Amino acid sequence: MSTYFPKEGEIARKWYVVDAAGQPLGRLASRVARILIGKENPKYTPFIDTGDHVVVINAEQVKITGMKTEQKAYHHYTGYPGGLRSEGLSKRMTRKPELVIEEAVARMLPKNKLGKQMFTKLKVYKGDKHPHAAQKPELLAVCS
């Protein structure tokens, strides 16, 4: 008896819409990451991308709990001496709230080529409008 591995043509990818309004950031990100990885799919295989596409809307209305709005900071290094740049969560939420959700989900995906491929299936939008209506996405309730 041999182990079954899904082929590239056998993987049927669905599209889901997730409304981030009022959802806690971490719980939203972990559920979206599981869908992108494909763990919700019965054909899940760890080394094959079997995940679905996820469209997150209302990114600016995501719920941030505790003291994170004042204390959490995002850092990146430019590559030059003295080039460490920092930005607080509250400033990033006003400037570009899509990045907050994208970074939270990206850090829950595998850190390899497969994780980068999974991340390309995530689309995050500030408002409730998105250009993916042609794919007929299903509304997905993440958490209550």
CATH of the domain at 131: 3.90.1180.10
What domain range includes position 120? 13-140
16-59 pLDDT, tens per residue?
999 999 999 999 999 999 999 999 999 999 999 999 999 999 99
In a domain, 3, yes or no: no
Considering the domain boundaries, does residue 123 fall inside one? yes
Q: How confident is the model at residue 142 (pLDDT cuts 50, 70, 90)?
A: confident
Q: Does residue 5 belong to any structural domain of this protein?
A: no
Number of domains in the chain: 1
pTM: 0.92
Task: Kindly state whether residue 129 falls inside one of the protein's structural domains.
Answer: yes
Where b means 16+ CB within 10 Å and e means fewer, 72-90 reads beeeeeeeeeeeeeeeebe
In a domain, 1, yes or no: no
